[in-house]
Structure formats: C-alpha cells, structure tokens
Amino acid sequence: MSSANIEDRAGVSVDFDVVVVGAGFAGLYALHKLRDQLGLSVCVYEAGDEVGGTWYWNRYPGARCDIESYCYSYSFSDELQQEWEWTERFAGQPEIRRYLNHVADKFDLRRDIRFGTRVVSAIYREERSAWEIATDQGTRVSAQFLVAGTGNLSAPKVPDFEGLDDFSGQVYATSRWPREEVDFTGQRVGVIGTGSSGIQVIPELAQRAAHLTVFQRTPNYVTPLGNGPMDPEFQRYIKQNYGTIRTRSRQHNTGVPYDRVQPSALDAGPEERRRTYEARWREGGFRFLKDAYSDLMVDKDANETAAEFIREKIREQVVDPAVAELLMPYNYPYGAKRPPLETNYFRTFNRDNVTLVDLRRTPLHGIVPSGVETSAMVYELDSIVLATGFDAMTGPLLRMGVCGRAGRSLAQCWENGPRTQLGLMVDGFPNLFTITGPQSPSVLYNMPLAIEDHVNWIADCIRYLRERNIKTIEPSVESVSEWGSHTNEIANSTLLPTGHSWYTGDNIPGKPRAFMIYLGGAPRYRKICDDIAANGYEGFILGRELTTG
Ligand code: NA7
C-alpha cells in the first residue's frame, strides 16, 4: 500500500485517503486516477483473486461483451489504446480479462489491491468524518473517502428453487463459473434462464452436452451480435482516429459512434423500414436497437414494428414452427427487458439434442434429486446450469453493509428503491461515491466510458474539497428527491418501465419496484454533472457548512 496512517486536518488519523471496493473496470481506473494523478493513498479490496470484476466471475462458455471492443475499453490512455490489439469485433471473456490484466500491469495497480478480500461492512464514523471498513479477512481500516466500484451486475440472484440442495448432479451458475474447464461430454444438461447469459451459454453447451434442456420462462427479443475476427485494416483505422471515435461515442446515448438513427419508424414506409431493419440486423451489436429509429423506445406502435420484425426472423431461423412460436416474445415492448444479442442461439433449437421447455405452460415446481420438475414431468439431468440473473444495480451496494450518519443503513435509506444524487452520492452518506450507481446512465451507456466519466467527476470533486480544506461532501435531501423525480419522469416517458426485469427490480422477489437507470442520455447527464461541479457542487452540502451551520 502506498501509505497509511495519514493525519487529517483535525489531527485524527485515517489509514487511507480512499478505499475503493472492486477491481473491475471501475476499481482499476479509480485506483489509477486517484493514486497516480491525484497522489492520494488508495487501498482497493477485491473479493476475487484477480482483477476483472464481471469479467473475472462470468467465465462461462460463450461469455462475451455486446458492445464493439474498440468502444468497450478504456479511453483514458492513448498509449493503451494504441498498443492493445483486439482479435475479435466483440471480445470474449478471456480476452477482456487479459486486457484488464494488461492494464493492471501497465499501471502497476496490483500492489494496492487486496485480493480475496470482501468488504463486509462500511460504517461512517461521524466523530472522525471517516469511513471504517471491515473485511471478511478480519481487516479494519479507515478512509476519508469510500468509492464503490462494485459493479451493477455482480450480486447473483440467490436461487430460490426448492430442492436444489438435494440434486444429485452438479449445479453451476453462469455468474460463478468454475475456473477449470467443465467437461459436459455425454451429459444431460439443463439450463434455467434465457436472459443474456443463458442466450450466450446455450449454443456452447448444446455442442458439448449429450442433451440440453432449456427451461424458458420469458422469451426475449434477441438480435444477432455479428461477431467475427477483427479486420486488421479496421483496427488500423480505429487507432488512427481514436480521438474522434471516442468523442463521437461520448456524444451518443449508448456510448458508441452509431450515427444513422432515423427519426421515426412510423414515418418510414413498410419497404423502407424493412430495409433499415435488415441492414441493422446484419450489422449486429446494438445497431438494431439504437441505430434504426429513435421512437422505438417511446412509441408502442413504432416499437411493435421492430418486435414483429424480430418475430419474423425467429420464424425464419427455427425449423419447427411450434418451437419458434414458444421462442417469440409478446406482451411487452422490445427493449423493455435488456435485449440479449446472440450467436447461433435460435438455430441451436434446430439441433436434435436440444429441447425447449416453456415454463409459462408448465411451471417449474422445483428440483428433485434426479433433475428438474415442472408441472408436467421430471426432466432427468446430470448437471443444472443456473443463468437466473442478478440482484442488479442496488444489490452489490446493499450487500456491503453500508451505514451512514446516525447509524442509518443504506438498506433503510433505500427501502422504497434507490435515492441518489446523480447516481453518484446518497444523502446521509458523506464521502461515499458510487461509480455507475443506480439512477445514472450506467448499464445503458458504454460501461468503460460511463466509469471513466464518473471516476473523473469523483477525482475532480475530491481535488476541489482538498484545495479548500473541506472535509465532507454529501447531497442535500432536496437534491436527491429532485433527482429521483427527474429520473422517474424521464423513465416514465418511455416504454422501458413497462417491462419486468432487473431494470425495475422485478426479477428479485420482494425488491421495491423502481426504474434504476437514468434515461436522459449520457451527453445530457454529463452536462448536468459538469454544471453542478462548475457551480461549486450545487445541491451538495460541503463539510464546513455542516460543522459551522
Ligand atoms: P437476466 O437477464 O436477468 O436473465 C435471467 C433469466 O433467468 C431470465 O430468463 C429469467 O426469466 C430467468 N429466471 C430467473 N429466475 C427464474 C425462476 N425462478 N424460474 C425460471 N426462470 C427464472 O440475467 P442474465 O444473467 O442473463 O443477464 C444479466 C445481464 O448481464 C444482461 O442483461 C447483460 O447486461 C449482462 P424471466 O425473464 O424473469 O421470466
């Protein structure tokens, strides 16, 4: 660690200026920025035994990013951008993990990361204006600032299947995949869940298992990823133009340099619309969702044109019309659940060794020693793969045992859903920053860029405080309420809150329903954040005011 026991201005000693939680994309950049550019003493705690975060834990076959890798990567170092070579358009998990290891080496990050160490509590000590952090390894340290780089999709949903412990075979979870390769040869394998993770792992397992049974509750609107080897010429072009590409990416709501979106699907005639959809379908990535028509997420009828196009494509790909029908989503708008991207997903159901079970018609009753039991029958299995998702957005923060002023826990503060200012800070929790927290653009923006924007804002904020001898910062109750109303108002002007998924917390029984992502777009969001900073952190209470007033 770079230093310890720093005397703060009140003469109270703290172990670190900053404790960062997590060593994924967020924690790694936070460490580099705060330690190497601001000169702060920083300690990072990471539950895994390597860097990577999401890309460390989700190592199931087929795990891959859905945003083009030259965009889904850090922009803060041009040297890094120039030296790293992506081998595929959309990098797989091993390649992203190699990339993050390279970043850790290049910026000498590991020396300030404590691996295999999970933060179990973080308590704000008013008398010291500092956070006291405890870990599962028995460590207890204090820090002036606590920065959560805990990720948005890192707390797996706890499986609630009756009898799971009695299953006589092996149970795997996509979110906690074993390090060693799992050999499914000759096995009868069942996958529960057809979200993004299920849709990536299913085609891979179908090739390895003797038989694969897919348990589907809700069909998804799935469009092609369009992966392939990285064209060396394109890679050269990117490197020559990275500055412009990153600027254009930051100007786009999704954080990618897409630029051909048309105003309205309903204004286009059927033929023109079909041509646009076909073109975006072929190009892959999120182009179909984000670069076709700008009213898809706000107008039900416009949305239905895209939804119906996807259903037609499912009909074309799946040979058995009855199976195709089961795979077709209805009754909710395209995009209202996070749309997965696929590589050979639908065609996998044409294989003789794959069975689709529709859990809407025959609900899952539970797990029995020999397999999965639905209302119709028992499916005998050797292995079960859970691809059942995450307690998203708030889950990773809530499980960290955070307690703010007056012993008020984050769980109490968020009992009706997240309350934040900008998705970055919470009232009553001074000096706690949440990178890509709930109510920020986060997962609907390009994560590495969203992370860089937040870390840069946090670093500027800490610098501002230090230069003025201000000890604490926290948002006012009013600003938090206003941000919540603003976030909800925008969300409710779209179709997104009408879906049931981790976007709204509906996937976790008992979780308060709240739409957890800022939908005003990253450029608008960034301007709001910058303006607040430029106005001396308007809407925030600065420590001096708290103690004097
Ligand atoms: P998701 O997208 O939340 O998908 C979870 C899947 O598991 C989904 O199909 C669920 O069906 C299904 N599920 C969850 N619980 C059950 C139960 N109890 N019974 C049957 N089926 C169930 O998680 P992913 O890991 O695939 O993706 C998360 C994000 O990671 C993804 O969006 C990307 O951003 C990366 P449901 O739809 O609830 O009916």
pLDDT of residue 355 exceeding 60, the answer is yes
H or E element at residue 451: helix 447-467
pTM of the model: 0.96
What is the rounded average pLDDT for all residues in the chain? 96
Q: How far apart are the first and last CA of the chain?
A: 37
The yes-or-no verdict on residue 472 having pLDDT over 70 is yes
- Compute, in angstroms, the gap from residue 506 CA to the centroid of ligand 1: 11
Mean pLDDT within 156-165? 93
Is the beta carbon of 502 within 6 A of some atom in ligand 1? Answer: yes
Determine whether the shortest distance from the Cβ of 405 to ligand 1 is under 6 A. Answer: no
Residue 158: which pLDDT band, with cuts at 50, 70 and 90? confident
Using the mean position of ligand 1's atoms as its centre, give its distance from the Cα of residue 194 in Å: 6
pLDDT score, position 537: 98
Q: Is 365 in the pocket of ligand 1 (CB under 6 A)?
A: no
CA distance 141 to 190: 44
Axis crossing angle, helix 300-317 with helix 270-283, rounded to the nearest 10: 60
Distance from residue 247's CA to the centre of ligand 1 (Å): 33
Mean pLDDT of 241-248: 98
User: Quick check: 190 pLDDT over 80?
Assistant: yes
Per-residue model confidence as pLDDT tens digits over 92-138:
999 999 999 999 999 999 999 999 999 999 999 999 999 999 999 99
Q: Is 359 helix (H, G, I), strand (E, B) or coil?
A: coil
CB 393 within 8 A of CB 438: yes
198 C-alpha vs ligand 1 centroid, how far in Å?
Answer: 8
Find the 199 Cα to ligand 1 centroid distance in Å: 10
pLDDT for 159 equals 84
Tell me the average pLDDT across 421-427.
98
% residues pLDDT > 90 (the chain): 96
Pocket test for ligand 1, best of 57, 217, 357 (most atoms within 8 A of CB): 217
The number of the ligand 1 atom at minimal distance from the alpha carbon of 389 is 23
Q: 230 pLDDT band (50/70/90 cuts)? A: very high
Model confidence at 395, pLDDT cuts 50, 70, 90, reads: very high
The closest residue, in CA terms, to atom 23 on ligand 1 is: 389
What's the 493 CA to ligand 1 centre distance in angstroms?
25
Please give the number of the atom of ligand 1 that sits closest to the Cα of 160: 18
The values of phi and psi at residue 398, to 5°, are -70, -30
In this prediction, residues 72-97 reach a mean pLDDT of 98
Averaged pLDDT for residues 171-175:
98
- Which tens digits make up the pLDDT trace of 291-301? 999 999 999 99
9 has pLDDT over 80: no
pLDDT, residue 5, reads 52
Q: What is the pLDDT of residue 2?
A: 42
| 244 vs 2, higher pLDDT | 244
**Residue 79 confidence class, pLDDT cut points 50, 70, 90:** very high
Contacts of 49 (CB under 8 A, 6+ apart): 115, 116
| pLDDT beyond 70 at 12 | no
**DSSP structure string for 361-425:** TS-EEEEETTEEEESS-EEE-SEEEE---B--TTHHHHTT-EE-GGG-BHHHHTBTB---BTTTB
pLDDT over 60 at 366, yes or no: yes
Strand pairing class (13-14; 16-21): unpaired
Pocket test for ligand 1, best of 507, 508, 516 (most atoms within 8 A of CB): 507
**What backbone torsions phi and psi does residue 364 show, to the nearest 5 degrees?**
-75, 125
**Strands, E assignment, 157-265:** 170-173, 188-192, 211-216, 223-224
Q: What is the DSSP letter of 156?
A: B
